[in-house]
Structure 1
């Protein structure tokens, strides 16, 4: 999420300097991907917002509130006053130009019609997947340029200015985190919208379809929630608008949609069509329906600012299942125990006050065993459900850097499962037989169990181990000289997936064998029942028999070249001297010690055959370079009177 420093200053008048804000965000809120300067001189923080805080932090307003809470300062609320014939609406209020009519529950009751000063706007909500839908007609607008301040803020977060109406919808999405959509009213069949599931065979021509490839038209399914007029789909709910009611330079009258859709439905639909937009990102992570009302007020106000002659009509508001106020309780002892440091009541109260949380302190009494806090959870904080979440919140704001790191005194009485024991036995047996363990992909191109994967060649779960093991064998076989292995022998113990379920299997491959079987069958084949009863449990501790610590050595991305040198020498000492000559004259391109792969004696002479491996870290070697090194080595060998085979 890109957050503009200048945008934050609209809400926080005494905002910290950029460098101080970097530390505050990093240590108190989330990880920063980057901090960059935009072309207009603004500072942009790319914040890595995790799903648990996506409900409230995928907006400048949400981030500003979080910063203000940490610093213990007040946020500046930006009022948007709408002047109509009879009513003023504040951004922070919860009123419409006239009372709206909420839905009562069943799909048949998800319908409302309000009479305005012009025509009737009718909205039918036929699916419970739409949790709230607000609509307003605005007439006599003028399509033009946006104010300079809005253009600059949008530019800071990578958004290109299009026109005042489109820019306002984008501005509010990044400002409040609530997606909105504007329809060209005159392109609809009538002044009526229907929120429903698509019908089989229905199609829609999408806006901004570049990420879908060449095809603009997509076919819908019954699982897709759509917005439709009385004839055609005009938008995929929460995902993308259609071209039928697109706002263009000739648009005079618009219908503003501010809605809230089921997050799971939006996610499945978006993934099904391969669409990922800023609106999808927010809907799929769930935002609260309560945002719709203030956002409708704000968009109306901004449109009036850029279109002086615009006329607002009444708001139709269908709100399904308003949620009750949530309360949680927690006590200081629990918070301190979870964090591992004593937190005083005064510190807890300070944090609650700084965030403007509504709370009561309940003293120890017959109703509660200890002093505790009762807090009303802010509606937008969907991540807070109990005292454990408040422990995290208080610890984060208090400062994890103030909490000393202490290893807990754990006493574990652990017993390995039978399956794990068998896996360890199988691996130990194959290692003893000279095999090396590999781990291949569980996601493959073809199989029986399909998954929703991000890569087109990995849409299925594997049904066997040998396919992946054979590929690994071929790759490693080519590198056998580099690995200084006379033969490649590899194995894998892993899970395969069929329509009948999962199964743990063992597979091993060498130059003679390609074998796969179930784990149970392998154990039965390799071990006697007496051995399993007497020796299988318990296994030795994983810490026993550990080799000495290994050091990492960077590998090269360039191919290696091998050369074999075989020489007749007279004595064992000559053989040792030959090794020194090869190593000392191989130069820096000789990346491994000479590898003795053959030795035999004939008469009074002994043949030593060494394999030399050359490789560069910055280029691909050629034969001329290697031949020059070998010629130098051959000269040294001849000076010692030895015979090159």
Structure 2
């Protein structure tokens, strides 16, 4: 909400702290201030009031009360002028429980005109457009103390009767911004005997609009159910400043103060003669009483606040209270609808005394960690298989057949797996095809995962021994493992960098060469690298070596692959011929 510094100053005799200090105090004790901006000779705060305090702080008065408590500044007492009232013929009927309170007052012989300069400036500073003195007065009071107000042109009504009822499915209203809205039974409306005058708590209608010809008005100060107002607003797609306040459940008790303030302001800037108030308040709000002790507050906050310090908070917030032996009986202000229990009062205490008063100290907790048996067994099984030279794989849990079917899945993956073996077989086959690329003589893989039967889930371990797949339950696998494995935090520093692999197939070729005994195979490896061209994507891999009859055989595997295309066998054969020719240049070497 936009809050004017000069507007706030009107609530205090003392000079307010400078805007930066004021902003800092609000931030550290109440609300986030998203920005500060200079407009003319004023400073405007953009205060983010959260829903838990929107019922009493979406207004300059609400923020002024917070400032009063934070900086220990006394608020001015607001006094309104006395004026005579005439008897009234206004009749108000509430026909729906969604209307919690409705106050109406007729003011006759008003003069519609431009607003005085001070009023226009106040509204324009917070981004509101001036319309006329009556509408501006209603808007000003709403932004001042947080209660929405609406004014109707009395002479445009069928009679001096206001009816608050649910709408009907065949009814429509043209709103003040000339939108046609279809109504239904879920939407509360303000009506006269024949037509709809306004959508309750949301938007006024064209029929009873206050214009330059208006002479007699009805002032509406009402309270509507928060939930139904929000739902109606969403349904018809209209969000107004009034909706923002009603949907956060403002107190019906605010109506009395609002009616006094708006009446005084209208009489002051538009003249007229006020009639008596008609106030329909079916279920009066009961004052909440909350008991809280010094011990409870300090225990919840981890603090050592004295009783006197806590008492100072109640006084700064204007709470009525009684104290006996360190326990407080708090009479919660009727406007503070957020306070329902002790915990809410604890929050108020630390907000006002300051969060910095809480010592940044972790509590001592005597706690012995419990080992999760399932996670421990998985870690033991994984550790053993990794130490045995296996690599872990993860295969799909979804299969094309099984005992537990799933919905909305691919046609070949509409069952949950009943074993790990099927997926591991497929993985083993794929990895064996890529063994040359992986520079592995033997593929050893395992998986630890969940299988699904009609009786429930079970964790299994599956691994291969050569071409055979073995699968058993996790408990069975771990039963005979004598492990000193411990669960502990480990830090790993990975120095390898990821390099993308080619999506095209590779071609492997083997080269075996007899060399004189004692001659190093590195010279042969260098020839292979120099003549392998850019298509040789890995260093030649020595997969076999033996000595016989004073000669040593070195067997290297070469892997060729392109990042741009599928290689042809002819391309590789051409490279192999070149390699063979260079090997043959050494007379003591012989290609096997």
Q: Within 2, Cα distance between the matches of 1:5 and 1:415?
A: 57
Match of 2:148 among 175, 179, 189: 179
Corresponding residue for 1:588? Answer: none
Q: Is the 8 A contact 1:262 1:286 kept in 2?
A: yes
Corresponding residue for 2:212? Answer: 249
Match of 1:377 among 310, 323, 332: 332
Q: Within 1, Cα distance between the matches of 2:375 and 2:233?
A: 40
Match of 2:348 among 370, 393, 396: 393
Distance 1:549 1:43, change over 3 A: farther
Corresponding residue for 1:195? Answer: 164
Q: Report how many aligned residue pairs link the two structures.
A: 473
Shift of 1:355: 2.1
Distance 1:563 1:401, change over 3 A: same
Give CA deviations for 1:116-168 in whole Å, capped at 9, x if unaligned: 2xxx1111101121111001111222221111111111112111111111111
Match of 1:312 among 269, 274, 277: 274
1:358 paired with 2:302, answer no
1:165 paired with 2:104, answer no
Shift of 1:385: 1.9
Corresponding residue for 1:344? Answer: 306
1:294 paired with 2:257, answer yes
1:73 paired with 2:73, answer yes
Q: Within 1, Cα distance between the matches of 2:527 and 2:8?
A: 78
Corresponding residue for 1:262? Answer: 225
Q: Within 2, Cα distance between the matches of 1:244 and 1:595?
A: 85
SS of the residue corresponding to residue 150 of structure 2 reads strand
Corresponding residue for 2:520? Answer: none
Corresponding residue for 2:547? Answer: none
Q: Within 1, Cα distance between the matches of 2:344 and 2:313?
A: 14
Root-mean-square deviation (CA, aligned residues, Å) is 4.8
SS of the residue corresponding to residue 78 of structure 1 reads coil
SS of the residue corresponding to residue 22 of structure 1 reads helix
Distance 1:525 1:408, change over 3 A: closer
Shift of 1:73: 2.1
Corresponding residue for 1:130? Answer: 99
Corresponding residue for 2:197? Answer: 234
Corresponding residue for 1:23? Answer: 24
Give CA deviations for 1:577-626 in whole Å, capped at 9, x if unaligned: 999x99xxxxxxxxxxx99699999x9995665759xxxxxxxxxxxxxx
Q: Is the 8 A contact 1:132 1:289 kept in 2?
A: yes
Distance 1:81 1:436, change over 3 A: farther
1:205 paired with 2:209, answer no
Match of 2:180 among 212, 217, 221: 217
SS of the residue corresponding to residue 138 of structure 1 reads strand
Q: Is the 8 A contact 2:300 2:346 kept in 1?
A: yes
Distance 1:56 1:434, change over 3 A: same
Shift of 1:408: 2.7
Shift of 1:325: 2.3
Q: Is the 8 A contact 2:253 2:285 kept in 1?
A: no
Shift of 1:407: 2.0
Match of 2:364 among 406, 409, 414: 409
Q: Is the 8 A contact 1:196 1:225 kept in 2?
A: yes
SS of the residue corresponding to residue 315 of structure 1 reads strand
Structure 2 residues not aligned, in runs of 5+:
380-390, 398-406, 414-429, 432-449, 462-470, 480-484, 510-522, 543-554, 565-581, 583-592
Give CA deviations for 1:342-377 in whole Å, capped at 9, x if unaligned: 0011111222222222111113xxxxxxx3111111
Distance 1:43 1:547, change over 3 A: same
Counting only pairs closer than 5 Å after superposition, residues 460-539 of structure 1 correspond to structure 2 as 464=408, 524=457, 527=460, 531=473
Corresponding residue for 1:590? Answer: none
1:273 paired with 2:236, answer yes
Q: Is the 8 A contact 2:536 2:560 kept in 1?
A: no
Distance 1:348 1:531, change over 3 A: same
Distance 1:61 1:575, change over 3 A: farther
Shift of 1:411: 5.4
SS of the residue corresponding to residue 124 of structure 1 reads strand
SS of the residue corresponding to residue 83 of structure 1 reads coil
Shift of 1:390: 1.4
Q: Within 1, Cα distance between the matches of 2:457 and 2:174?
A: 61
Distance 1:151 1:335, change over 3 A: same
Shift of 1:272: 1.3
Give CA deviations for 1:283-315 in whole Å, capped at 9, x if unaligned: 01111111111111111111111123x121121
Distance 1:436 1:274, change over 3 A: farther
Shift of 1:548: 3.6
Q: Is the 8 A contact 1:34 1:45 kept in 2?
A: yes
Distance 1:600 1:184, change over 3 A: farther
Shift of 1:207: 2.2
Q: Is the 8 A contact 2:529 2:540 kept in 1?
A: no
SS of the residue corresponding to residue 90 of structure 2 reads strand
Corresponding residue for 2:37? Answer: 36
Distance 1:225 1:12, change over 3 A: same
TM-score for the superposition, normalised by structure 1: 0.63
Is the radius of gyration larger for structure 1 or structure 2? 2
Distance 1:155 1:409, change over 3 A: same
SS of the residue corresponding to residue 281 of structure 1 reads helix
Distance 1:150 1:548, change over 3 A: farther
